[in-house]
Structure 1
Amino acid sequence: MEAITGKGLKHAVKYVRAGVFLSLIMMGIATVLVFGVLIYARVLGSPPLAVPQSTLYFSDDGKVIGETNTGQKRYWVKLDDVSPYLIEATISIEDKKFFEHKGFDLKRIAGAALADIKAFEKVQGASTVTQQYARNLFLEHDKTWSRKLREALYAIRLEMNYSKEQILEGYINTIYYGNRAYGIQAASQYYFGKNASDLSLAEASMLAGIPKGPGAYSPFASMEKAKQRQGIILNAMAENGYIKTVEAKAAAKEELALTGTDPNRELKAAPYFQDAVANALRYQLGIDERTIELGGLRVFTTLDQKQQEAAEKQIKSIVAADSEIQAALVAVDPKNGHIKAMVGGRDYEKSPFNRAVQALREPGSTIKPFLYYAALGNGYTPATTMRSELTTFRFENGDPDYTPHNYNNKYANGDITLAQALALSDNVYAVKTHLFLGQETLAETAKKFGISTKMASVPSLALGTSGVRAIEMANAYGMFANGGKYIEPTLITRVETSEGKIIYEKDAEEETYLDPAKAYVMTNMMTGVFDTKLNGYASVTGSTIVKGLTRPYAGKSGSTPTDSWMIGYSPQLVSAVWTGYDDARKIEKVAEKSYAKKIWAKFMEDALQGKPVKSFKPPKDGVTGVHIDPVNGKLATKGCPVRRFTYFVSGTEPDEYCTDHLDHNELIPGAKPGGADKKSWYKKLWNWGD
């Protein structure tokens, strides 16, 4: 053995000192770097955890009716709403030391690094749940060292600012499970048709194995590989003490009922309604487009699925399949303005144009109730009579002559009452009233009813020649139904974030615009549309559908050469139906002219089926009901062949009895035989002032 000389010893000590010095420098640099990274991470603060999520639309009973997405299904659920089996399975296979480390598993990292060195490339991962979550939130999934360094920084920031439970919740809500399903809720619904909270041990262990390689371990890609992966996970759960071995074996043998469909996938009930909701979010509530599409909002709407289905069903069954005519329907609850059903056309895929809210169409005679409401404030009553005959109106100001025509050119050629004129839709009576009130009156009155479109103050306006929207007409008629209150039509009752924070809630707002007494008198007159007691030179306009009606309704039909309408209501529901051609061609087929009435009648009966039958209750004050002869508007006597109980604004009811049907022995009520007072002497004694 050769002895170390003094010179050699000095060299050895020198090298040792240099090595120690360099090691200390390296350790110092590493320490500085570590502290620098930690300080930098602290300065950067907590990274945002928001990820794209589908916005869900709910009907009025809390059921999902549709969603927004960009081809991906993303729903966020709280950790407490996830099956414990799924949490335990995920930790067992992905990161069994998750609750112990600070974002990195050094032992796994060392093993992965050794494998990479042997292969001279990045081949094995050792990412913890925290690192994977960081990657899901902020990074691409390429296997490069630069990505790993950035991932490490994000992981540090996550661990410094969020609890383990928050990180785990974020991870299971963002991981990809294949088949466009991001997050455990979307995966649970797709693979098993249930919520994440309801997953069994067998189901949870199957799903936990998919993220490693959805193309390989999805049961729809390879059941064999999926079962192998499930077995590995179940064994890991048993080794980690989450379940017993016997439970693992039983779960591995369990046959799973796979669905392969998402309950919400491609679901778009009431597509026209949902488009209207999206527009309301955007333009009324001021929510930006990206938040609507990817913000994970929970939008609670007013849609009644039963009524929506009834609307779609009746339009489809009544309108001929080969017809090019279009149809629209809006139904509103008059008590709160909630839109319960909406159909904007016959086929959304062919034409998403929403005729219920966007189209401007001539309302025809459905505008007359606004005209006659104004007339009630200007001396008219349901018993006011005017002559119905072919009339040409000439104007001193040089305006052209105007000659309105009744349907089929039929006229009474005599006097008719306002109540009968409305029920028969007499156009001459309407134009006379319009000109008497002043041509500006109807346009101004329509504004009170919430009609926003500009109306031309011309003689023909009384017959509905200025365009209106179906949704506004439905809401306007709702004001008659609710006693004169204006309530803004409502599509949305509440909007929440994905975390459940309420960012919008509809307040109940109403303002009385109409006189309740006059509004009720109009409702009473509009019930006459379905009352054959008002038949005269023609039948009431609702006579063709009255046999199919089983409860009290009020309403008005309307038609122009290009448009057909029926608008009516019960105390619980008001609906407006329009039919016509998009290119405004004339409606010439007899069957097509009746579509609107038939759709309305069938829809109202279906929509209200099972609900109590309610009548229109008069207000406590302001109206008086009497029996009148509907032909002449006078108080009815026993001899009148037809008597109709009619409401008037108190103080305007008729005081003259009908004498047209008295025989020579019958007295007018209140009259005295021979004109003599037959009171007994003692009554005379005590009634000197009579």
Structure 2
Amino acid sequence: MEVLTRRAYRKRRRNIRRIFQSAVLLLMVTLGSVAAAVTYAYNLEPPSLSVPETTVMYSSTEEVIGEIHHGQNRHWIPLEHMGDAIVDATLAIEDRRFYDHYGFDFFRIGGAVLANLRSNSMAQGASTITQQYARNLYLNHDKTWNRKINEALYALRLELHYSKKDIIEGYLNTIYYGHGAYGIEAAANVYFQKNAEDLTHGEAALLAGIPKGPNIYSPYVNESRAIERQQIVLKMMEDAGYISASERQTYVAEPLEFRADQDFKAKKIAPYFQEEVIAYVTNKLGIDESLIEAGGLEIYTTLDGDIQQKAEQWIVNEMGEEGEVQTALVALDPRTGEIKAMVGGRDFAESSFNRATQARRQPGSTIKPFLYYAALEHGLRPNSMLLSELTDFHYGNGIDPWSPSNFNDKYPNDYITMLQALAVSDNIFAAKTHFLLGFDTLVETAKRFGIESPMNSAYPAISLGSSEVGILEMVNAYSPFANGGYLVEPQYVTKVLDRDGNVLYEAENDPVRELDPALTAIMTNMMEAMFEINVGIQGVAGVTGGSVASYIDRPTAGKSGTTEHDSWMIGYTPQLLSGVWIGYDKPQKFENNEGVHTKNIWAKFMQDALIDEVKLPFPTPKNVVEVEINPDTGLLASDSCPVSRPTLFYVGTEPTEYCSAHDEEIDTSKKQEDPLQKTEEEKKEKFLDRIFDWFGGEAIEEPEEEMESDLEIEIQIDGESGEEEETATD
């Protein structure tokens, strides 16, 4: 037994007292430090929870067509929309005591410190969900003491200023799940193509295991390892009491269907259109670009995904997937200006230059409808006639005469109607009309239709489309023809919402009538003739739409245009307007008839895009009247005319005289007789013929001659149709 001296005893007591005092002092300092830290953290402003979010673009049917983000694909959703499965799985594997601590789990910290001291490293961590959330928001992932201290401070601030619900919601919206997916909503879409709230327990367990090592536990990297990790998560969920043992066995056996490899990298629908949407939202709507890139906006566009797919497919079908010649296609609703489809080139990956909006090309004869609209305003009519022959136009002292030519240098050398001139795209008629109206008239009229590209009125060739314009600009300018005179602007976006669902922009469609609906109706009626074979000029020129007339199964109007370097086709129905352009980026002449694809693409696309749509008539105002005329003479068609066509005129300007060019034996004055009475007389004549035939009379000789004459006419019509098919171009 040890015997202590009095001095030794007093010395021991002093040491114990000092130890106790030191412990008390240390505790006080610690508590003071903690209190100071808490006070300091509390007095600081609440840390921002804002993180970059993916902006989503939707089609007109609210299908996702694209996303905008810079490597962080993230869609913020409230905790209520995540589902219990992913929350339970995440808490089980990451922080089972989440609701019992204040940002730090001292039990886990103590265990991790001992483990790290033994291994002389910092390999094992004990971070809570709060600490991980703080790290994701404000810090990097370096394993240093300085980062740990800052992490603890931010975690404390989060716990002091936000609820547990806010913290777990933020964590699940920011954690990285691999392959560019940040947050559980993006992860659910990337791996299972569904929303987070629709995840099963097996799917949720797999996703909850990925954040520990996305490059290790992603099923796209190593599926078997991902499944092993899923089993661990399910076992942890059972241990935590979130699921029973029998439920765990059920979830373990649950089949997992991952997105197909070809679907993993989301296809970007209508990339040229999406680029225009970003420019439109930034420049036209004034929304900051940084908000578009990371603000989690929802942009609802005018694009129709089905029509877009058909546009792209018909271009490939007609032109193939490779080649130097380029193309552009725009389709829009002429009533509103809403763009339904846009193709800016053959391959966005090879060239992002959007030819539909950025290129400037010569429109050729597609400019003529504006010229003839101006002619109608100045008193000309669809049946007005001009002599079409090779002509030298003199328009200035010391300037060489201008000598335009028709396609294949073919000229009627006779008077033709404006209706025919537009249908066959006669250049002489257009040039004479331009000179008749004055050079400034076409420029001013084109501006009224929305053409903003400059046109030099000093050169008469602008009447044949020599001044460059934009493809979308030109197509949209046809809208007033289709909608009864209303000027509309191209629309890309119907609505924009911020991340909280607040409306930042909503389109208001209020078109203004700028043009005469009677004259636009007459022009539309004239442009329908480009698909009517019998309107062509026999032996000289066929209608320019003859080669695609078989695809027209509803009221349709349009105009084609061809230059040495450009091929155009613009046409419309009451509910859809579209235009196709083909040419080389660096203007050069076409090879191997490459320009012929334009009309085929347009016609087949229009037929396909409208296949389920109602066949609507074009609007016809009350001050417009329809009469049957002979397109060759412009007069009212008689029964002896081989061709007749219903044509619109402004009331009071329609022809009143009947055509007599094919009426050698019938008095034109009888054309005013009642057609029912005429039919009865014809029946009587045929009855008498049969009687004469019965008795062997000679009265049948004259009818036989008439039948031969009729046969001759039919042969001429057939021949004309064949000729038109061969020359159906501008």
The normalised TM-score by structure 2 is 0.86
Determine the C-alpha separation between the residues in 2 that align with 1:256 and 1:442.
66
> Are 2:298 and 1:295 equivalent residues in the alignment?
no
Rate the CA distance shift 1:29–1:324 in 2: closer, same or farther, 3 A.
Answer: same
Correspondence 1:338-357 to 2 at 5 A: 338-357=338-357
Q: Is the 8 A contact 2:368 2:430 kept in 1?
A: yes
CA shift, 1:470, in A, is 1.0
Secondary structure at the counterpart of residue 648 of structure 2: strand
Q: Is the 8 A contact 1:659 1:668 kept in 2?
A: no
The equivalent residue for 1:502 is 503
1:194 corresponds to 2:194 = yes
Deviation at 1:489, TM superposition (A): 0.5
Q: Please name the residue that 1:477 is paired with.
A: 478
User: For residue 622 of structure 1, what is the aligned residue in structure 2?
Assistant: 623
For the 8 Å contact 1:66–1:264, the answer to whether it is kept is no
The CA deviation at 1:250 is 2.1
Q: 1:498 to 1:357 in 2, by over 3 A?
A: same
Q: CA 1:221/1:542 → structure 2, altered by over 3 Å: closer, same or farther?
A: closer
Following TM superposition, by how much is the alpha carbon of 1:451 offset from its aligned partner in structure 2, in angstroms? 1.4
CA distance in 1, matches of 2:187, 2:274: 25
Letter of the structure 2 residue corresponding to residue 667 of structure 1: S
Give 1:483-494 correspondences, 5 Å limit.
Answer: 483-494=484-495
Q: Matches of residues 276-355 of structure 1 in structure 2 within 5 Å?
A: 276-319=276-319, 323-355=323-355
Q: What 5-or-longer segments of structure 1 have no aligned partner?
A: 673-690
Q: Which residue of 2 aligns with 1:47?
A: 47
Specify the alignment match of 1:79 in structure 2. Answer: 79
Distance 1:191 1:519, change over 3 A: same
* 2:130–2:155 Cα contact (<8 Å) kept: yes
Superposition deviation, residue 569 in structure 1: 0.4
Q: CA deviation at 1:132?
A: 0.6
1:250 and 2:253 are equivalent in the alignment: no
Is the contact between residue 577 and residue 600 of structure 1 (CA under 8 Å) also seen in structure 2? yes
Residue equivalent to 1:680 = none
Structure 2 counterpart SS, 1:594: helix
Equivalence for 2:614: 612
Shift of 1:210: 1.9
Summarize the Cα distance change of 1:113–1:396 in structure 2 as closer, same or farther, 3 Å threshold: closer
Residue 277 of structure 2 aligns to a residue in which SS?
helix
Instruction: Report the structure, 1 or 2, having the larger helix content.
Output: 2
Alignment deviations for residues 453-475 of structure 1 (CA, whole Å, 9 cap, x no partner): 11111211000000111111111
What is the distance in 2 between the residues matched to 1:208 and 1:434? Answer: 73
Tell me the alpha carbon deviations over residues 123-178 of structure 1, each in whole angstroms, 9 at most, x when there is no partner.
32111111111111111111212111111222222223322222212211221223
The CA deviation at 1:435 is: 1.7
CA–CA separation in structure 1 for the residues paired with 2:617 and 2:225: 66
Greater displacement, 336-345 / 151-160:
151-160
Instruction: State the partner residue of 2:551.
Output: 548
Q: Please name the residue that 1:452 is paired with.
A: 452
**Matches of 2:673 and 2:222, distance apart in 1:** 98
CA distance in 2, matches of 1:415, 1:38: 97
Match of 2:715 in 1: none
1:584 maps to which residue?
A: 587
Q: Paired residue for 1:133?
A: 133
**What is aligned with 1:675?**
none
Name 2:694's counterpart in structure 1. Answer: none
Q: Which moved more, 1:144-153 or 1:171-180?
A: 171-180
Higher mean C-alpha deviation, range 37-46 or range 104-113: 37-46
AA partner of residue 571 (structure 2): G
Cα deviations by residue, 1:285-321 (Å, 9 ceiling, x for unpaired): 3344443333333322222222212212221121266
Structure 1 residues 83-162: aligned runs within 5 Å? 83-162=83-162
Counterpart in the other structure of 1:567: 570
Report Cα offsets for 1:239-272 as digits up to 9, x if no partner. Answer: 3332111101222233433346484624112222
Residues 472-481 or 75-84, more deviating: 75-84
1:290-439 alignment runs, 5 A limit: 290-319=290-319, 323-439=323-439
Structure 2 letter corresponding to 1:464? G
Q: Which amino acid aligns with 1:586?
A: K
Residue 164 of structure 1: aligned partner: 164
Paired positions, count: 669
Deviation at 1:631, TM superposition (A): 1.8
Distance in 1, matches of 2:110 and 2:262, equals 41
Contact 1:189 1:261 in 2 (8 A): no
AA in 2 matched with 1:614: L
Shift of 1:601: 0.7
With 294-303 and 439-448 compared, the bigger mean Cα shift is at: 294-303
Counterpart Cα distance in 2 of 1:261 and 1:294: 27
Q: For 1:211, what is the secondary structure of its paired residue?
A: coil
Distance 1:632 1:332 in 2: 37
Please tell me whether the aligned partners of residues 53 and 69 of structure 1 are also in contact (alpha carbons under 8 angstroms).
yes
> Against the structure 1 CA distance between its residues 224 and 466, is the aligned structure 2 distance closer, same or farther, given a 3 Å change threshold?
closer
Residue 206 of structure 1 corresponds to 206
Matches of 1:649 and 1:515 in 2, distance apart?
11
Give the superposition deviation at 1:512. 1.4
Kept in 2: contact 1:335–1:482 (CA 8 A) = yes
Q: Does 1:518 align with 2:519?
A: yes
Aligned residue number for residue 217 of structure 1: 217
Q: Which moved more, 1:373-382 or 1:625-634?
A: 625-634
Does the CA contact (< 8 Å) of 1:67 and 1:267 recur in 2?
Answer: no
Would the alpha carbon gap of residues 322 and 192 (structure 1) be closer, same or farther in structure 2, given more than 3 Å must change?
A: closer
Q: Cα offset for 1:16?
A: 6.3
Deviation for aligned residue 1:448: 1.4
- SS of the aligned residue for 1:667 comes to helix
- Once the two structures are overlaid, the 10-residue window that deviates more, 605-614 or 153-162, is 153-162
Counterpart pick for 1:558 among 555, 558, 561: 561
Match of 1:597 in 2: 599
Q: Do the aligned partners of residues 158 and 417 (structure 1) sit closer, same or farther apart at CA in structure 2, a change above 3 Å counting?
A: same
| Number of the residue aligned with 1:683 | none
**CA distance in 1 between partners of 2:111 and 2:439 (Å):** 90
CA distance in 2, matches of 1:60, 1:85: 33
The question of whether the paired residues in 2 share the 8 Å contact of 1:190 and 1:261 is answered with no
Deviation at 1:386, TM superposition (A): 1.4
Partners of 1:391 and 1:403 within 8 A in 2:
yes
Q: Secondary structure at the match of 1:331?
A: strand
2:159 partner amino acid: E
CA RMSD of aligned residues (A): 2.6
Aligned twin of 1:679 = none
Aligned to 2:723: none
1:623: how far off?
Answer: 1.5
Contact residue 189 and residue 262 of structure 1 kept, 8 A: no
Question: For residues 577-616 of structure 1, what are the alpha-carbon distances to aligned partners after superposition, in whole Å with 9 as ceiling and x for unaligned?
Answer: 1111122111253x32311111111111111112222221
- Contact kept? 1:227, 1:252, Cα under 8 Å: no
Length-normalised TM-score, structure 1: 0.91
Partner residue, 1:63: 63
Once residues 347 and 253 of structure 2 are traced to their aligned partners in structure 1, the CA distance between those partners, rounded to angstroms, is 48
* Structure 1 pair 264–429 and aligned structure 2 pair: CA distance change class (3 A): farther
Instruction: Indicate the SS of the match to 1:386.
Output: strand
Which stretch shows the higher mean deviation, 102-111 or 521-530? Answer: 102-111
In 2, Cα distance between the equivalents of 1:162 and 1:653?
79
- Name the SS for the 1:472 alignment partner: helix
Which residue of structure 2 aligns with residue 274 of structure 1?
Answer: 274
Counterpart of 2:476 in structure 1: which amino acid?
N
My pick for the range that moved more, 136-145 or 492-501, is 492-501
